[in-house]
Structure 1
């Protein structure tokens, strides 16, 4: 890399002008980008919150980078913010082995180890639930988006819902463009629900949990379900949609933000593609910004999540009984 170009890129980095770094390097034909230049590009992607693109760039030069502690650190950083904690731990451990006692690496190791352990537990739980569904004959039943959703009973009608959530009907082209924009294939059961009404506030807004979150000891609550669109603020590609929550609010880039919560941004429900890949059937998780983006496993797929929603009064009555 030319000295002048490197100096300019580092200057932009110090000024937090990461997008200028990306634009300048993208102007250079791919065959002309050397190892150092791709490293600079991946760093800028990481700093812009574009972690999947950072990881993609780094993995393209892995045969040169595996013995480089900085390459390992940058890859671990990208994986960490994608909530791929098992892979992040492996990268940070290798970075520490190649360059011991680096303070940033040691700090990330301390953060990553408990999260990697939790991810492994969630993976095992997910596999057990899928096996149970398969053995009971309900796995394909769920994945086929079985049954019907009655919009009269499922959706709560309100002016706020119409203003912020409910979008016009969609076509296949819009699905494809939003899937491309988000980088994931939408579940069939989600598309089926959006065909009854394209986003909105459900009548039942509470989902039971086996562990506590910042919301409650035994459940989480949602405000609404984002529809397929970009015109309304609370839609998948809208003003406060999935990429906004990931890039501006710092949520892990593990999939798609599908529901907002009453905390006004401080926790969300996401489709989690970590165990299935971008074209697979995602699990559903709760992500808690108030607890360092703690991930709580909710359901093996979207339809199981929808069918598990209960009325908020269920837990209010339970609280009253406990007080008595």
Structure 2
């Protein structure tokens, strides 16, 4: 099939939402034989199936030609936007707008991305300051010892529900490596330490203070569980309703690992966020709200800070009562 005819067929499949068919067909063509246009079509199909990182990989493989192509910039910005790399997305859409001014779709993305990119920069500054303070104090990865609000013996709530749905069997190093490979990120040492006390479950303290309002409350978020390391229990990291399920089926941005469920039954979650540290680094912790266009709220510089910052939700109810009196 000549390439012109092939591109026409790919566009027909695109109109019919046959994105996987497009991917399969182009993947059967050797990489060395794929033209710039075919790479773009493959990236578009990846974007339309939520495989944004693969779309970025394809687009960057032809970046020298794409730099001056507004459609290439648009597709790249689209992919970055949906993994919450807002600053990179903004740069791509700004370049697309320079190359092809006044495109309505590009302008819509620019309007949406500018405040998100600004907030991401503010979160980065807070993360770096808090990370540096933790490193200066030298207290990271000490969840084996009781201090502050964290006490190993009383951290977990014991219930049949937790045992049935959340608490996984003890794990070994092989399981850690396997889960990390599946998720694409290195698990924080403090998280692994906590899972050695109990491998997932329902904590007794379930509220975490915030500096900004969320859909849950003006000054805090709430969690219902912390995922364990495994695949058997449905809410474990690799389980039926684990991290990849929430990203691939619920549309959460692929910025890291969904680590905590919330009372909304999937409509907001807590995630380990690797955008500032890379897939091998020490992630910060964020709240992501599906009901508010996947708004990201920074919580803590690392998982240990998040665990030690959990408090009884009645704390906030008492504060509200005191304000009313």
> TM-score range with shorter-chain normalisation?
over 0.9
Deviations 1:44-95 (A, max 9, x none): 1111111111111111111111111111001100111111111110000000
The secondary structure found in structure 2 opposite 1:269 is strand
* SS of the residue 1:214 aligns to: coil
Shift of residue 130, structure 1, vs aligned partner: 2.0
Pairing 1:13–2:11 present: no
**Residue segments in structure 2 that go unaligned for 5+ positions in a row:** none
Q: Which residue of 2 aligns with 1:213?
A: 214
- For 2:286, the equivalent position in structure 1 comes to 285
**Corresponding position of 2:201:** 200
1:183 aligns with 2:184: yes
Corresponding residue number in structure 2 for 1:58? 59
Q: TM-score, normalised by structure 2?
A: 0.94
Count of equivalent residues: 321
Name which of structure 1's ranges 73-82 and 14-23 shifts more when overlaid on structure 2: 14-23
Ranges in structure 1 where 5+ consecutive residues have no aligned partner: none
For 1:178 and 1:5, how far apart are their aligned partners in 2? 39
Q: Deviations over 1:182-208 (max 9, x none)?
A: 111110111111111111100110001
Instruction: Determine the structure 2 residue equivalent to 1:90.
Output: 91
* CA RMSD between the two structures: 1.6
CA deviations 1:232-271 (Å, max 9, x no partner) are 2111121211111112212111111100100111111000
Would you say 1:100 and 2:101 are equivalent positions? yes
What does residue 38 of structure 2 align with? 37
Shift in CA distance, 171/11, structure 1 to aligned 2, threshold 3 Å: farther
Rounded to whole Å, the distance in 1 between the matches of 2:142 and 2:313 is: 28
CA shift at 1:102, angstroms?
Answer: 0.9
Distance in 2 between residues matched to 1:28 and 1:298, nearest whole Å: 45
* Aligned-partner Cα distance in 1 for 2:249–2:29: 28
Relative to structure 1, the CA distance from residue 200 to residue 105 in structure 2 (aligned partners, 3 Å threshold; closer, same or farther) is: same
Q: C-alpha distance in 1, partners of 2:227/2:100?
A: 45
Which secondary structure does the structure 2 equivalent of 1:239 belong to?
Answer: coil
Helix, strand or coil at the partner of 1:207: strand
- Aligned to 2:288, the other structure's residue is in SS state strand
Normalised by the length of structure 1, the TM-score is 0.94
Q: Is the 8 A contact 1:76 1:92 kept in 2?
A: yes
SS in 1 for 2:50: coil
Kindly tell me: are residues 303 and 37 of structure 1, through their superposed partners in 2, closer, same or farther at Cα, counting changes over 3 Å? same
